[in-house]
Structure 1
Amino acid sequence: MSVLLVDPFSSGVHYHGLLQEAGLTYHTIRTQRALDSGLSTGEAVPSLVVDHAVEEQLDDIVRFCRDRGVDVVITGAESGVPLAEALKIQLGLASGAFEDQGRRFWDKPLLYATVRDAGVRVPEQIGAFTAHDVASGRHRSVLQTAVFPVVVKPDVGAGSVGVCIVDTVEQCLEAIESIVSAPGFFGGEQPSAVVQEFVHGREYVIDTVSHAGDHRVVAVCTYDKHPSSNGTMVYDRLRWLDWESSETATLTAYALGVLQALDHREGSVHMEAILDKDGPCLIDLGARPHGAGHPLKTYTLTGSSQLHAEVATAAGLEDSVPTGYQLGAHAAIEFLSLDKPATVRKDANPTEILDQDFVLSGEVPARPGTTYPETHSLLDSEALGLVFVSGTDDEDVMVNALRLRRSFDSMLEEVDHAR
């Protein structure tokens, strides 16, 4: 018996230590999609048995798994979802009822259609447009009846790259054409552009772990965010919700409905939803853990996380799915961002912001003398820094978060002729 770990990048990099601590034998696969997207830079990977893996190798990888007694497949990052979900089906670990080889977990139009068909609310889809549609002008006629604002996003992607909110037909056309004319985030097929209803409300994230079709919610959080100059949404911070809150109960019930609609059986799911007067509405979903190291913060606050729960299940230490969680402190993740291009002063030391007494942990990759663009995605924020801040209560957390931002902003200088 052993574990197959697919693309242990982003938060998934922490699986190595947890699997070793649990005494589990594991094998690692790195996909070509991880390399094409930059989620992996070609670094050495422990227990690597297949590198540059593609879905055309599925049969060979299935044989490897059966020969090695693999009975658990763990997905570390979004790039590994297509191969991992197809493997789960072939190994009898996931439902093959949809006959889509797990594509519903990463192809956005299919994801929303599957959930909608089960009677669970998702955004209204206005259209999905290929490069051929753009060349023929079909997208122009479809958009004439659209109600703005709308959301435009790639059909396959990650990290909010390419996702934007637009207010006019002209802006929408520009966003569509930008998506279909550029390489996909993960390489491979040219992306299509999905145009959806814009759902007004606060954004939440529900992180779950499933085993044998039983689902556990390990964290419910909410985002504070603002639009950038080109309509993309920039995340300011993420805050954890108490398990006892009314929002948590509503979102948990909705998330379980989504998982059932998709017939999800095994592994972590990171789900984003908007809550408005009509209830929750799915915005995005990834069949992998929450990225950017978030599970380690959840573990600090609750004593568990998606990573820890999956490894415990693989080790046979969790026979039943526990319900709920208890927050041990008030905290938030602050996403550093720029409203316009700026340069970190050469005499500055950005990592000094981590020395403040309210900072629990953090990563600040921003370097002195380096110029950074306006923030348009979560990946842009990751290049600057993500910082885990605490406080005596939620109000104190916000005060400390603003103190952190002021400290970072004091290290910046504007770029000449930036606009």
Structure 2
Amino acid sequence: MRNVVLVDPYSAGSALAPAFAERGVPAVAVLTTPEPTASFASTWHQENFVETFVLDDVDKLARRLRELDPLCVLPGTETGVEAAEHLSELVLPGQSNVLELSAARRDKWLMGVALADAGVPHLRQLSSSDPGEVAEWLRANDLSDSAIVVKPQNSAGADDVFVTRPGEDWRPLFDRILGSVNRLELPNTQVLVQELAEGVEYEVDTYSVDGAHGLVSVWRYAKQRQGNRLGVYLSTTVVPPGDEVIAPLFAYVRRVLDAVGLRNGPAHVEVMLTPSGPRLIEVGARLAGSDQQDVTRLAVGDSQVDRTVRHWVDRKHAVSGYELLRHVRSVYLSAPSTGVLRNAERLARLDELLPTFHSAVIAHREGSTVSRTVDLWTSLGHVVLASDDAAAIEADEQLIRKIESELSVEPSSSTA
């Protein structure tokens, strides 16, 4: 029996093995590290796999995988992208993406380089470990008195993404990132410095087959800055397919996908719609993470997981547009400071309080020790709202914000 090979099947990728199993296709796991990173450990389900390998000798593993005659080799999450593409080329040549551009689908600096090489509009940026080089680059690009972003090149979830305003010193933030270990447990050997893109940010989730790109769903982000932190999520809202923003966004995203060599599989693309037009924030050659597959299915009746199975099992119906079944919004909750969470009893009753309530992922309750929310990783959790009535969702988000405003965090003995 043929199988699928899943590399680092964590986060949203943990849904792939069960989805293939429903179609009678077993799954084999390949881990790029002996154990999942701490951020993904809770989503590793070894029981879903008939065999598990740890990536060590690539050529030896490729020979073993060829013996298993897999349908495909796929990444489960960001950390598995390059390994999956390399293994796929060794096991099933020509079936994945353009191998020479694999790093450009993972490294945020190289994404911008690929766009520049293809003539696709992009943000001005520099990758450096030298603050002197950064200062000179800012002067040469007339950005010394402009807002800029400094961030890791290979992380996720708005991890250590900072913004500095004109006149603010970016060097302490640069020094904080350089040499540190990010949320994916990778060392930050370089720092990415970019001009600040301002506008409305969108998540564009796609699926591609042999270079033809289909639109799975589009989501509008609402974010806020807290001090110098950029990327505190407020909400994500599905955008109806008839919205006027869809055509220019998708036209741009198709150019991005071609530029970074993505030909087969899902992509998660974050784009800022600026006054000058769309500009790429980043692209991931993998499934949209967290519970995005579930909420997409709720909104449009389809998901990247579903299309992945159709692509490799049915060999059809993976590239298309989408239809809106219902309005859906994920509303994120933030902690104002670090300490012990209080006044949180209503978080346990959201299903009773919100008419459009669908589900909630909230790890913290009354008495929990929480960290100040500065990115997606430190969010208190989120609530999924769904309804045929967009106004009802708006009203429920306002109630969530009222409950959030009543939360208090007491300094604990360890934080006082």
Q: TM-score, normalised by structure 2?
A: 0.90
- Structure 1 pair 39/214, CA: closer, same or farther in 2 (3 Å)? same
Deviates more, 1:409-418 or 1:348-357: 409-418
Instruction: Decide whether the 8 Å contact of 1:210 with 1:216 is kept in 2.
Output: yes
Cα distance, 1:181 vs structure 2: 2.8
Report the equivalent of 1:39.
40
Report the equivalent of 1:70.
70
Say yes or no: does 1:120 pair with 2:115.
no
Report the equivalent of 1:80.
80
The one-letter code of the counterpart of 1:23 is: G
Partners of 2:16 and 2:100 lie apart in 1 by: 30
The one-letter code of the counterpart of 2:31 is: R
Partners of 1:411 and 1:33 lie apart in 2 by: 40
Say yes or no: does 1:385 pair with 2:385.
no
Instruction: Decide whether the 8 Å contact of 2:200 with 2:221 is kept in 1.
Output: yes
- Structure 1 pair 129/33, CA: closer, same or farther in 2 (3 Å)? farther
Deviates more, 1:35-44 or 1:172-181: 35-44
Say yes or no: does 1:372 pair with 2:370.
yes
Report the equivalent of 1:172.
170
- Structure 1 pair 67/159, CA: closer, same or farther in 2 (3 Å)? same
- Structure 1 pair 98/80, CA: closer, same or farther in 2 (3 Å)? closer
Instruction: Decide whether the 8 Å contact of 1:140 with 1:173 is kept in 2.
Output: no
User: Which portions of structure 1, spanning 4 or more consecutive aligned residues, are displaced by more than 6 angstroms?
Assistant: 416-419
- Structure 1 pair 78/169, CA: closer, same or farther in 2 (3 Å)? farther
SS of alignment partner, residue 312 of structure 1: helix
Deviates more, 1:406-415 or 1:228-237: 406-415
Partners of 1:289 and 1:186 lie apart in 2 by: 16
Instruction: Decide whether the 8 Å contact of 2:128 with 2:134 is kept in 1.
Output: yes
Partners of 2:344 and 2:378 lie apart in 1 by: 23
TM-superposition CA deviations, 1:48-83 (whole Å, max 9, x none): 634543xx5321232122111113122221121121
TM-superposition CA deviations, 1:347-403 (whole Å, max 9, x none): 83633224433211121111331221221111112xx21211124433321221121
Instruction: Decide whether the 8 Å contact of 1:331 with 1:391 is kept in 2.
Output: yes
Structure 2 regions of 5+ residues with no counterpart?
A: none
Instruction: Decide whether the 8 Å contact of 1:299 with 1:305 is kept in 2.
Output: yes
Instruction: Decide whether the 8 Å contact of 1:348 with 1:368 is kept in 2.
Output: yes
Report the equivalent of 1:319.
316
SS of alignment partner, residue 283 of structure 2: strand
Report the equivalent of 1:129.
128
Instruction: Decide whether the 8 Å contact of 1:34 with 1:79 is kept in 2.
Output: no
Partners of 1:48 and 1:411 lie apart in 2 by: 46
Among all aligned residue pairs of Structure 1 and Structure 2, give the percentage whose two residues are the same amino acid.
Answer: 26
Partners of 1:344 and 1:282 lie apart in 2 by: 37
Structure 1 regions of 5+ residues with no counterpart?
A: none
Say yes or no: does 1:185 pair with 2:183.
yes
Partners of 1:87 and 1:245 lie apart in 2 by: 39
Alignment of 1:328-343 (within 5 A): 328-343=325-340
Alignment of 1:8-407 (within 5 A): 8-32=9-33, 35-36=36-37, 38-40=39-41, 43-45=44-46, 46-47=48-49, 49-53=51-55, 56-90=56-90, 91-94=92-95, 99-100=100-101, 102-125=102-125, 127-130=126-129, 133-134=130-131, 137-144=132-139, 145-147=142-144, 148-168=146-166, 170-316=168-314, 318-345=315-342, 348=345, 350-355=347-352, 356-381=354-379, 384-407=380-403
- Structure 1 pair 44/224, CA: closer, same or farther in 2 (3 Å)? closer
Partners of 1:99 and 1:333 lie apart in 2 by: 36
Aligned length: 408
SS of alignment partner, residue 307 of structure 1: helix
The one-letter code of the counterpart of 1:341 is: T
The one-letter code of the counterpart of 2:71 is: D
Instruction: Decide whether the 8 Å contact of 1:343 with 1:372 is kept in 2.
Output: yes
- Structure 1 pair 224/347, CA: closer, same or farther in 2 (3 Å)? closer
Deviates more, 1:109-118 or 1:339-348: 339-348
TM-superposition CA deviations, 1:193-220 (whole Å, max 9, x none): 1001111110001001112222111001
The one-letter code of the counterpart of 1:312 is: R
Instruction: Decide whether the 8 Å contact of 2:11 with 2:43 is kept in 1.
Output: no
